[in-house]
Amino acid sequence: MEVFLLNLRTSPTNKRKRVMNKDHEEDDDDATYFNAYSDVTIHMDMIADTVRTNAYRRAILRSYKRLYKNVVLDVGAGTGILSMFCVQAGARRIYAVEASSIARQTQCLVVANNMQDRITVLHNKIEDIELPEKVDCIVSEWMGYSLLYESMLLSVLHARDRWLKPGGVMLPEQALLFIAPIADSDEISAR
């Protein structure tokens, strides 16, 4: 078995290559990716995963001393649930960045929860935003199947390099991936 430690504080950023087509438009599958997250049902499934959602909530609330009266950047904010947890932890300002069209619903949720004075929803890719200030903390649900499936890691590292103050906090800050080789002889025979 192999164990890999991914530390977001020290992982190098590999710049995401942008491919332009003949009309000078991006052609890097972003539209497909963001369309998948435009549907509210995928977000309902993630929020309904109470183990996952409560783990994030506990981690954010336990970090209240690092968030209290500070500025937070929520990368890939989705419905804004992590941003709302940051309000509960006392963050002064949260920039909730979401590239998919779910950002419109996120803005409605922020207003419905009377958090519009602390949460600013930005409908754009993290690589394309401009913030008025550096942030003290970055939160993100960047982990997917097999840890890296959702392809958000490079965006989170970009946000870290561009917007996080020196000594800033990343939640989560590191992850462990355990890998063991297996073989399914029935599956191999079927191929």
Catalytic residue numbers read 141, 150
Residue 18 per-residue DSSP state: P
d(CA 82, CA 108): 15
Burial class (CB in 10 A: 0-12, 13-18, 19+), 147: middle
Task: For residue 70, report the phi and psi dihedrals to the nearest 5 degrees.
Answer: -110, 175
Task: For residue 55, report the phi and psi dihedrals to the nearest 5 degrees.
Answer: -65, -45
d(CA 24, CA 21): 5
Cα within 13 Å of Cα(190), Cβ side: 5
d(CA 26, CA 127): 13
Cβ-based neighbours of 143, under 8 Å, separated by 6 or more: 150, 172, 175
